[in-house]
Amino acid sequence: MGKFSKAQVIKSLKYQWGSFVEKYNSMSAEEQQQYLNLQGYARLGDLLAHIAAWWQRGMQVIMVYRRDPGFQPPNVDVDAFNAEAVASVKKLSEAEIISHFENRRFQMLELVKSLNEVDLQSERIKSQLAIEVIEHFQEHH
**Backbone φ, ψ for residue 2 (5° rounding):** -75, -175
Whether the per-residue pLDDT at 3 is higher than 70: the answer is no
Residues with Cβ within 8 Å of 1's Cβ and at least 6 positions away in sequence, in order, are: 123, 126, 127, 130
Digit-coded pLDDT (tens) for 70-126: 999 999 999 999 999 999 999 999 999 999 999 999 999 999 999 999 999 999 999
Residue 1: the pLDDT is: 47
Cα separation, 51 vs 59, in Å, equals 12
Residue 5: the pLDDT is: 87
Digit-coded pLDDT (tens) for 54-68: 999 999 999 999 999
What angle (nearest 5°) sits at the alpha carbon of residue 89, between those of residues 87 and 92? 140
Whether the per-residue pLDDT at 130 is higher than 50: the answer is yes
* Number of Cβ atoms within 10 Å of the Cβ of 78: 9
Digit-coded pLDDT (tens) for 9-56: 999 999 999 999 999 999 999 999 999 999 999 999 999 999 999 999
